[in-house]
Amino acid sequence: DAGVIQSPRHEVTEMGQEVTLRCKPISGHNSLFWYRQTMMRGLELLIYFNNNVPIDDSGMPEDRFSAKMPNASFSTLKIQPSEPRDSAVYFCASSSERDGYNEQFFGPGTRLTVL
């Protein structure tokens, strides 16, 4: 099993540009999460999907952020327009109900730098 796959691993862009982060969850997992991590705010949950449907997007910072999950094997997190304060490591995680609990498997993250 390849685990959760994220791309790109690193992204450097200029303020105002559109940024798209991609995630492929573990096959068979029905829950997907996007997190953001910064030194100041730690690890924050942005949005949670269950069976491809967004369940809780209360962590999405503002309208510049959007996330989609068109099918069970792919999700995107888009920032448009990007700002320097969006610089962070973005993690995708997936999970599947098993034996009454859920272990979240995290991807390697995408390090985003907005200049």
| Interface residues toward another protein, by CB under 8 A | 4, 31, 33, 35, 42-45, 48, 50, 55-56, 91, 93, 95, 97, 100-109
- B/e letters for 54-87, b = 16+ CB within 10 Å, e = fewer, are eeeeeebeeeebebebeebbebebebeebeeebb
CA distance readout (Å), 48 to 9, 16, 79: 21, 26, 17
| 18 versus 56: smaller Cβ distance to another protein | 56
CB of 81 vs another protein, minimal distance in Å: 27
CA angle 9, 10, 11 (to 5 degrees): 130
Overall residue count recorded for the chain in this entry? 115
For another protein, the closer of residues 65 and 91 by Cβ is: 91
